[in-house]
A and B are shown apart, each in its own frame.
Chain A
Amino acid sequence: MKKSGIIQSFALPFAVVVCLLLFWTMIWRSGVFHESAFPSPVAVLRAFRDEIVSGRLFTDLITSMFRVTCGFALAVASGIPVGLWLGQGMLARKAFLPIVNFFRNLSPLAWIPFAILWFGVGDASPIFLIFLSAFFPMVLATMSAAASVPNIYSRVAKDFGMGKFEKLTHVTLPAIMPQIITALRVTAGVCWLVVVAAEMIAGRDGLGFAVMDSRNGLRTDILVVEMIIIGMVGVGIDRVLEQLTKISSVRWGYER
């Protein structure tokens, strides 16, 4: 039982990766693509080693992570209170929901020109774009969760003499926490996608810029290294946020 579990969660995915590598090698060997457009696995491995030695990849990674963390943190810190406010008040919801929905469906990438005009190329532009990608989804998720908190909790809060503020912090917030955590995971994923795009256009450093730089230098081997890192970090971010679902006071949200 335990042994088959190990096989299933490690050996099988590993086998799939090996198959992919073989497939990659086959295409490279077949010569369908020109050598400058399609690096071999060995070349990528070499580039990997060079990048680690030079440390440039690491610096870019830190830069991108910093931007995502700032933009995401700002969006969460402001989006949750705004969402709570909209979720509580019927009138506020009626007034703001259409515009929030509008911005939610407007790709943050469309803001890139304005971001550059307003904030130049540096940290501020990507942070602004990440903020936009996370803020509106967080507002909407918090709002709909807060608006659908069972009425019964309000009765209980009243029975036990809770005031308005205490009800918000001790009833509404814990009641929507499972949905908030889910929203955090989805939104962080989006932010990681956006930072690469933002840095490709409005950056002088960061992983997105590195991708663009490799393309300009026709270094497809480094390009693949960067793609692998971007993908793996994205998975890592979700893994970290997934830990939030293991907090004992939110388990109820995932087990019913």
Chain B
Amino acid sequence: MTIPPLLLRQVSHSYGRLSVLEDISLEVKHGEFVAIVGPSGCGKTTLLNLLSGFDQPKSGTIERKGESRMVHQKDGLFPWLTVAENISLGLRRIEDEDRRKKQVEDLLGLIRLETFEDSYPHQLSGGMRQRVELARALAGASDILLLDEPFSALDYLTRIHLRQEVARILHERPRTVVLVTHDIEEAAQLADRVIVLGDRPAQIRYELTIKTARPRGPTHPDVVRAVHDILTVLNVESDSGEYVSASV
């Protein structure tokens, strides 16, 4: 495991004259969970699109080892496919139908939606849809999981609940994960390493490693401390008098 799954060297990106990312260098280790936080519109999603290979950076290099799958903020499921059919998308390489079916069942069990295999996405709640999308991304032989604010379209309690679900699911099916979020608490609870981006053009402002083993609770002392640290960094940023809350 000498080659990291994701390696970014001095990556910069811009849309026209608008510079979005500047000189980002980052190495994500095998099985590591990295969270990237930053103010909205700072280029977090751009970064994910580069990591997934959907966009190419204007300069610098991105090396990706293995297959990546993205979980989107919302509406990433194909609405014309049932839950089981959506999950099966991730199992396209498995020729044997029985094996595919078995794996879909396993994944439905993992996200605790066994009875919803024939439902369509529009018949599910937002939280259920996100769980299905996660199962689809985990299906098959994907190596890297890219999470694009996967909880941000949900209400507060569902968000907390789903966060814990993700921690549990990743404990059962470990992956290399990059999570992009504006929720610092979420980042601190889930990730091994939190990277704080500054305003556009985004650069890495701060990096914090959380040593406690995952999964952890939302009020674990190390999580609380990490949140405090990150907020302190961001508060220094807002010396001009702007108020920075827990959710930047």
Contacts and interface: CB of A to CB of B under 8 A. Distances in A.
B69 A159 contact: yes
A155 B73 CA distance: 13
Contacts of A249: 80-81, 120
Nearest to A250: B80
A156 B78 contact: yes
B80 A175 contact: yes
B75 A150 contact: yes
A158 interface: yes
A150 to B, nearest CB: 7
B78 A255 contact: no
B120 A156 contact: no
Contact of A159 (B70, B80, B81): B70
A174 interface: yes
A162 to B, nearest CB: 9
Interface residues of B, number: 21
Mostly helix, strand, loop or mixed at chain A's interface? helix
A161 B120 contact: no
A161 B78 CA distance: 15
A252 B121 CA distance: 8
Interface residues of A, number: 21
A165 interface: no
A155 B52 contact: yes
A252 B122 contact: yes
A160 B52 CA distance: 11
A158 B54 contact: yes
A248 B78 CA distance: 13
Given A159-B69, A161-B92, A174 B78 contact: yes
A155 B78 contact: no
Nearest to B86: A156
Contacts of B79: 252-253, 256
Contacts of A255: 122
Interface string A225-256: 00000000000000000000000111111011
B90 interface: yes
A256 B72 CA distance: 19
A152 interface: yes
Given A158-B54, A177-B80, A256 B122 contact: yes
Contacts of B69: 159-160
Interface in A145-173: 150, 152-153, 155-156, 158-161, 171
A161 B53 CA distance: 12
B76 A152 contact: yes
Contacts of A161: 92
Given A156-B72, A177-B80, 20 more contacts: A150-B75, A152-B72, A155-B49, A155-B54, A158-B52, A158-B53, A159-B68, A159-B69, A159-B70, A160-B69, A160-B89, A160-B92, A249-B120, A250-B80, A251-B122, A252-B79, A252-B121, A252-B122, A253-B79, A255-B122
Interface of A: 150, 152-153, 155-156, 158-161, 171, 174-175, 177, 248-253, 255-256
**9 cross-chain pairs, A with B, having the tightest CB-CB distances, nearest first:** A252-B79, A174-B80, A249-B80, A252-B122, A160-B89, A159-B69, A155-B54, A255-B122, A159-B70
